[in-house]
Structure 1
Amino acid sequence: MAVSIAERAGTLWLTLLRPPVNAIDLEMVESVTRIVEETKPDHPIVLTGKGKSFSAGIDTTAFAAYSKDQRRDMVLGITRMVCALVCHPAPVVAAINGHALGGGLVLALTADYRVAGAPDAKFGLTEAKAGVPFPIGAVEVIRHEIPAPLLRNLTLTSRIINQDALLEAGLIDQVSQPDNVLIAASQALHVLKGQPGFRAVKRQVRGLLQARLTALVEKGDDPFLKAFGAA
């Protein structure tokens, strides 16, 4: 099973579950998407990873073994997955418990609030180094969430940074002790969901990204499918 879920007091706790580094494969993409899309719109979500990694990004070994159709499903599925998370009406909080690289960092950036508790963890957008482009949905997320100069630097150099640099850049909202990250995420979520205007304001401030991702899902295409060996 690529993910685990638990419901506590009306909150869905969604844990990425592919040891040792929770690398993203097609099963995980489809599972996360289905779970989020089926979650009631008034139920908040906490997204985290099992063990010492949030997610190290795409499982390139699994992806290399996929058929062309599976690769297409994976690339388009990533756009649908990030769309589901960004468009969820209730608060989504990322409890970043460890390394978040490539698609793992993109997943964290879909959240409305991000808590990190991994002072030794590595963060980066290393697709150029890995030899693959970003799915179009991931591009939309990072363009909206990362300031342009930092985005250029992170993506074109594959530079690795730590959580302090993420906090300074405003890409995460809070740091906690490693053994306290889930509690801190829960506390942050309590504050978010207690605001009566949260859903309306989320539509205002994240509506452009929501609309763009929704349009891409409806289009069902990606201009870089050929580069993924999926066209």
Structure 2
Amino acid sequence: MEPTILKSVEDGIAVVSFNRPRVRNAFNHATLRLLALTLDEVASSPEVECVVLTGEGDTFCSGDDLNEAATITDEQHSNILEVVQGLTYQLRAMPKPVIAAIDGYAVGGGLELTFACDIRIATERARFCTPEVTRSLLISNATSSLLPRLIGDGRAREMLFTGRMYDAAWAHRVGLINEIVPDGELRARAVNLARDIVKSASPTLPVTKQLLNAVTQAEVKAAIDGETAALQTTSILDSRDRIQEFLSKTTAAQSGA
């Protein structure tokens, strides 16, 4: 059985990818823990100078594995939340630049992870959505701080309140992504961009990243603390009806019913 997170390193570039294409790279607890371990490895590796975060198949990451979310307890949900929130700290503390290469769907927690990356590029067919409120769930990963900084407060509120799906053209126009790449060329473009960074890098690059993040560090910590506190006042059990309803609709659509 293949690992749910893949890693390859070549010419100073680590490509880390979600590897659950059958479920649109949705992450469960085990996948999140493996991602955390993998990010630790590339952060400490002297062979790695830049990181590309992406997904196998035609989807970046569709967020929480709702089949798991529909069955877990509040204690298990709390454990998952701790790992999820920790990933934002890991990505921001990574001494190397991180490029999120987004193909297909980037949804919920999957999209929210990209907010902590340094650069985001996406294919023409990429789609972006934060559907938490439509499933009686709450945002995480410092989204309450990072998303408004990327696209502006008003657009962030619209995105979060409606749970609407947005296309790549909109995401590029508002600043959610840096660049749109033709379908089929994403991995090559991300690696070439990483090569440009590695080629021009000097010992001041990690310091520069640190300086950029220091400006918002207190705000990001406050956002994560606030999101965690809010999540702890709710029960995953309260979300189950909405989650089951969504899963039923998805199953019916896939079966043609």
State TM-score, norm by structure 1: 0.89
Q: What are the Cα deviations for residues 23-58 of structure 1, in whole angstroms up to 9, with x where unaligned?
A: 121112111111112323562211000111001111
Q: Is the 8 A contact 1:80 1:217 kept in 2?
A: no
Match of 1:128?
133
> Aligned in 2, Cα 1:29/1:141: closer, same or farther, shift over 3 Å?
farther
1:200 is aligned with what amino acid?
A: V
* 1:38 and 2:46 matched: no
Q: What are the Cα deviations for residues 141-176 of structure 1, in whole angstroms up to 9, with x where unaligned?
A: 324433111101000011211011111111111111
Structure number with larger C-alpha Rg: 2
**Which of these residues, 59, 62, 68, is aligned with residue 68 of structure 2?**
62
1:18 is aligned with what amino acid?
A: R
Tell me the matched-pair count.
229
**Which of these residues, 150, 157, 166, is aligned with residue 152 of structure 1?**
157
Match of 1:91?
97
Distance 1:167 1:131 in 2: 28
**Which of these residues, 156, 165, 169, is aligned with residue 164 of structure 1?**
169
Q: What are the Cα deviations for residues 206-229 of structure 1, in whole angstroms up to 9, with x where unaligned?
A: 22444555678899x533223243
Taking the TM superposition and a 5 Å limit, the aligned residue runs for 1:170-209 are 170-193=175-198, 194-196=200-202, 197-209=204-216
2:134 match: secondary structure:
helix
Q: What are the Cα deviations for residues 108-141 of structure 1, in whole angstroms up to 9, with x where unaligned?
A: 2221111111x23321111111220112634343
Distance 1:8 1:136 in 2: 29
Match of 2:118?
112
Q: How many percent of aligned residue pairs carry the same amino acid?
A: 21
State TM-score, norm by structure 2: 0.80
Distance 1:145 1:76 in 2: 24
Distance 2:159 2:225 in 1: 29
Match of 1:52?
58
Q: What are the Cα deviations for residues 35-89 of structure 1, in whole angstroms up to 9, with x where unaligned?
A: 1123235622110001110011111221221232211111121110121112111
> Aligned in 2, Cα 1:78/1:40: closer, same or farther, shift over 3 Å?
closer
Q: Is the 8 A contact 2:62 2:106 kept in 1?
A: yes
1:35 is aligned with what amino acid?
A: T
> Aligned in 2, Cα 1:123/1:188: closer, same or farther, shift over 3 Å?
same
2:93 is aligned with what amino acid?
A: C
Deviation at 1:92, TM superposition (A): 0.3
Unaligned runs of 5+ in 2: 238-257
Match of 1:25?
28
2:54 is aligned with what amino acid?
A: T
2:34 is aligned with what amino acid?
A: S
1:13 match: secondary structure:
strand
Q: Is the 8 A contact 1:23 1:57 kept in 2?
A: yes
